[in-house]
Amino acid sequence: MQENTKWQNRDLAVLWHPCTQMKDHEAYPPIPIRRGEGVWLEDFDGRRYIDAVSSWWVNIFGHANPRINAAVKQQLDTLEHVILAGFSHEPAVTLAERLVEITPPGLSRCFYADNGSAAVEVSLKMSFHYWLNRGQHKKTRFICLSNSYHGETLGALSVGDVALYKETYAPLLMESIVVPGPDCYAREQGESCADVARRQFAHMERALGQHADEVCAVIVEPLIQCAGNMRMYDPEYLRLLRDACNRFGVHLIADEIAVGFGRTGTLFACEQAAVTPDFMCLSKGLTAGYLPLAAVLTTDEIYRAFYDDYERMTAFLHSHSYTGNPLACSAALATLDIFATDNVVHRNRDLSARMYDAVAELADHPHVAEIRQTGMVLAVEMVADKPSRTPYPWQERRGLRVYHHALSKGALLRPLGNVVYFMPPYVITPEQIDTLGSIAIEGIELATHE
């Protein structure tokens, strides 16, 4: 028996995989990976795959990166974990200092959690609790954008709008106010993305006007709605939103879990609108895909609303067992070192241009509605009919055909519905990008044929 098959059988006997209809594995068992190096993943039969999706958007500097490996190994021999309530440690302190330094001005406090959804929960609870501590008892709701995604725990799902993840659990969720968003895919003839942002902002202005007295915060994914099929929008929307949140007395939560750490062409997406949110949620790229860690950055103004004598019961009594884990913090510190020394954001500009060139010919493809790109995220939207942008019926699972084709050619491309995208580690080479481009073009050709 081949090594892959052996592991597949053991896997399917005991494992239940995330985001998966397990019956699909009858035809296509999961691929067991024995090692990784740079952009490459290698299975137990020795086949190699370029990790074009950064292992679910987390890996930014390649697998088994020597610099991050060294940092984690050193930390491992020093301190693996310690309770962060009443105790502290060097990596947690240093990382908080550095995050405060590199995030937008005004964010001066760092609260740790251990995954993205948990960070979103923290920001929602903190916002609500801030208003409560300030005597505003009526503020209990949140505004989010259509097509948004903020994670899959119940609070995070409540402020999301991707039906695939949300609908089933609707009876368990709190009711958010969902406002039509600035998705530039919906632009009309002659409109720019900035025009769409301004036009669509009228919905937000109206919602805030109607509900501000009962709303704690507006939560958004700056510039790219990644899980919402990589839909993108103009920074103008964030500028308008920051201003409106100030005017209406509502917090702004920037969920940069997917877009932070260089993805959009700047270290943080909010920089492109020159705005400081009241809360910024970070995870995923924070540890370059090594270990689960999340941070919520917030302002002094928020922090001070919780700071009082214990008996007044205003403290933020939220915790996770692995809050601020030292190993994860050491991976994050090594990640920030790479950003600091390697001019990453600047170098990514060439890679980003190369990604577009690698698939540019698809712009004229009869079943491609558009190629869109923001920094190191490029997406190709396949449609049944180009002029009307009629989507393929989801049941046809066209994206899945691209996925299987890519695997057979040595690439991990995992489309979202009918959207094929590249979100590779920043250590990818121009030649590897070209390879991905050819594989994607062939895959899309096959998937849209007949």
Ligand X SMILES: *Cc1c(COP(=O)(O)O)cnc(C)c1O
Interface contacts to ligand X, rule CB under 6 A: 115-117, 120, 149-151, 221, 226-227, 255, 257-258, 283
Is 138 a known ligand-binding residue?
Answer: no
Beta carbon nearer to ligand X, 4 or 225: 225
Closest contact distance (angstroms) between CB of 226 and ligand X is 5
Coil, helix or strand at residue 50: strand
Closest contact distance (angstroms) between CB of 254 and ligand X is 10
Q: Which tokens is 176 given?
A: 């958010």
Closest contact distance (angstroms) between CB of 93 and ligand X is 23
Is 116 a known ligand-binding residue?
Answer: yes
- C-alpha–C-alpha distance, residues 177 and 82, integer Å: 39
Beta carbon nearer to ligand X, 383 or 412: 412
- C-alpha–C-alpha distance, residues 52 and 436, integer Å: 8
Closest contact distance (angstroms) between CB of 442 and ligand X is 28
- C-alpha–C-alpha distance, residues 205 and 185, integer Å: 21
- C-alpha–C-alpha distance, residues 39 and 427, integer Å: 7
Beta carbon nearer to ligand X, 153 or 314: 153
Beta carbon nearer to ligand X, 29 or 104: 104
- C-alpha–C-alpha distance, residues 156 and 149, integer Å: 8
Question: Which residues on neighbouring strands pair with residue 50, listed in sequence order?
Answer: 40, 411
Is 55 a known ligand-binding residue?
Answer: no
Closest contact distance (angstroms) between CB of 387 and ligand X is 32
Q: Which residue has the tokens 């998937």?
A: 447
Give every CB contact of residue 257 below 8 A, 6+ residues apart in sequence: 116, 119, 120, 150, 151, 221, 281, 282, 283, 284, 294
Beta carbon nearer to ligand X, 193 or 258: 258
Using CB positions, name the residue nearest to ligand X. 116
CA neighbor of 345 nearest in space, from 135, 106, 172, 102: 102
DSSP codes of every residue in 254-275: EE-TTTTTTTTSSSSGGGGGT-
Beta carbon nearer to ligand X, 115 or 330: 115
Closest contact distance (angstroms) between CB of 120 and ligand X is 6
Residue 107 neighbours by CB distance under 10 Å = 25
Is 284 a known ligand-binding residue?
Answer: yes
Is 320 a known ligand-binding residue?
Answer: yes
Binding-site annotation, residues: 56, 116-117, 149, 255, 284, 319-321, 414
Binding-site annotation, residues for substrate: 56, 149, 284, 319, 414
Binding-site annotation, residues for pyridoxal 5'-phosphate: 116-117, 255, 320-321
